[in-house]
Amino acid sequence: MGEKRIAIIGIFVEERDSVEAVNAVLHDNGQHIVGRMGVPYKDRGISVISLIVDATSNEINNICGKLGKIKGVSVKSVCAKNV
């Protein structure tokens, strides 16, 4: 197991039908999630979710990979340098 890192994962959900699948991935990885903020931006028809996670690089990549495979979902992550 690798060293844990603090990261921010940004998620854009552009298709409402994908929300359930996104929540399932987040639920399955809840042990890594330190904080979550979700904002439904109704004027643009999009939901924006930001996560703070404490996980290994492999776990972060796994979460992002699963989310990125969901139709209508875009995801990016950024890790703290030395934390």
Residue 83 has pLDDT above 70, yes or no: no
| pLDDT on residue 1 | 63
DSSP the chain: ---EEEEEEEEEE--GGGHHHHHHHHHHTGGGEEEEEEEEETTTTEEEEEEEEEEEHHHHHHHHHHHHTSTTEEEEEEE-S--
Q: How far apart are CA 44 and CA 6, in angstroms?
A: 30
Q: For residue 82, which phi and psi values (nearest 5 degrees)?
A: -125, 30
38-57 pLDDT tens trace: 999 999 999 999 999 999 99
For 8, 11, 19, 55, 63, the CA distances from 79, given in Å and listed in that order, are: 6, 15, 25, 10, 14
20-32 pLDDT tens trace: 999 999 999 999 9
